[in-house]
Amino acid sequence: MKPEVISNPILGDCRKVLKTLEADSVDLIVTSPPYADRRQHTYGGVSPDEYVEWFLPISKELLRVLKPTGTFILNIKERVAEGERHTYVIELILELRKQGWLWTEEFIWHKKNSYPGKWPNRFRDSWERLLQFNKQRQFNMYQEEVMVPMGDWAESRLRNLSKTDQVRDESKAGSGFGKKVANWIGRDKVYPTNVLHMATETGNKNHSAVFPEALPEWFIKLFTKPGDMVLDPFMGSGTTLRVASRLGRNSIGIDIKQEYLELTQERLGLQLQLLEENGKYETTQSE
Ligand SMILES: C[S@@+](CC[C@H](N)C(=O)[O-])C[C@H]1O[C@@H](n2cnc3c(N)ncnc32)[C@H](O)[C@@H]1O
């Protein structure tokens, strides 16, 4: 029997819909919530000053539905307000920790194709945060799934190994981490860094803030196995759900706007049809 992939896009306010989901049922949450105030004209922004207060009841539900071994990835970037970076993301991190989350890691999404521009007191913004939160220190992580080619680094660095490179170099900061560069001689793949170089997808005329498929894909591979459950409480055009189904993961998405639900259903439907055609999975899109 072929494995089944179930995708469930839901119309509604995630503040309500999340309450209906089962506790400890999700392996990975990947999401990009509305940015503070940024896109008020398209889908109702939240003011930067109220952002933390708005987000905390949502993250409380996310904490409840996530399995103890699961991971929550939050794509966010503080906007500039009155000439300086607003501090709501920093405040949010502190409050999430008080709520019970561990702030385990921060990845940077380097937007390789950000368009040129000139501002009087800053340069163009080419990166966003991908904050990683967990419920406990031991969580599922499949590092081999995201290894990258060794690349040019090997040529220059491994050819001229210093004495330190040939023994284990313990961290000078006493973190307990160390490295032995010589261990990597002869290998063609290495673990990636925490900077993800991905282009934004500019061709989507139907939703103004999609993230590239490569972004949820990287985290889905890193933190889940086929058959696991992925949740995006701010699903937008359904990028997370489409990628999850392509990778054989089940998924739930929530969006408050009917037009985005319809867009997701349509694009997801095409994805599921493709999966059925190549005969690997049985697929279901819940109504
Ligand atoms: C930044 S977009 C997400 C884009 C998505 N990552 C994609 O690739 O298409 C945020 C989405 O959150 C939705 N949204 C805003 N408030 C919401 C709420 N309270 N509950 C559910 N969805 C909400 C918006 O309609 C919007 O589509």
Dump pLDDT digits (tens) for 54-66.
999 999 999 999 9
Q: Which residues line ligand 1 (CB under 6 A)?
A: 13-15, 32-34, 43, 207, 209-211, 234, 236-237, 239, 254-257, 260
Q: Which of 146-150, 187-191, 258-262 has the highest mean pLDDT?
A: 258-262
* Phi, then psi, of 110 in degrees rounded to 5: -85, 115
> Which atom of ligand 1 is the closest one to the Cα of 204?
9
d(CA 251, CA 17): 14
- Cβ-contact 102, 135 below 8 angstroms: yes
Per-domain boundaries in the chain: 4-147+191-285, 148-190
User: Which protein residue has the closest C-alpha to ligand 1 atom 26?
Assistant: 236
If one compares 262 and 287, the residue with the highest pLDDT of the two is: 262
Question: Which of 18, 54, 235 to mutate for ligand 1's pocket (most ligand atoms within 8 Å of CB)?
Answer: 235
d(CA 78, CA 85): 6
Q: pTM of the entire structure?
A: 0.92
Distances (CA, A) of 167 to 46, 116, 131, 182, 185: 52, 45, 33, 8, 13
- Over range 137-159, report the average pLDDT: 86
Dump pLDDT digits (tens) for 106-125.
999 999 888 888 988 999 99
Fold held by 4-147+191-285: Rossmann fold (3.40.50)
- Tell how far the Cα of 151 is from the centroid of ligand 1, in angstroms: 37
